[in-house]
């Protein structure tokens, strides 16, 4: 469980960087499944929710195709 750093990702990265980080985490940490994508720290109120949605959507996209 883990794979992404929310403190950096949600405050400094653009949408494409977030999508790439999700793809990389899944590729590296879950070659055969069994991985739970989750921020290694936490999701704070001050993070832009739009960035959290990018992470969620990128994960959904990876699981459907």
Q: What 3-state DSSP class applies to 17?
A: helix
* Domain count along the chain: 1
- Give pTM, 2 decimals: 0.84
Residue 41 belongs to what domain range?
2-64
Residue range 37-53, pLDDT digits in tens: 888 888 888 889 999 99
State the pLDDT at residue 5. Answer: 87
- Supply the mean pLDDT for the chain: 87
Tokens of 15: 């949408």
Q: How far apart are CA 35 and CA 49, in angstroms?
A: 23
């Amino acid at each position: 469980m883990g794979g992404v750093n929310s403190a950096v990702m949600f405050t400094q990265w653009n949408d494409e960087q977030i999508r790439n980080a999700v793809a990389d985490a899944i590729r590296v940490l879950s070659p055969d499944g069994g991985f739970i994508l989750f921020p290694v720290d936490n999701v704070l109120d001050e993070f832009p929710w739009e960035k959290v949605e990018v992470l969620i959507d990128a994960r959904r996209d990876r699981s459907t195709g």
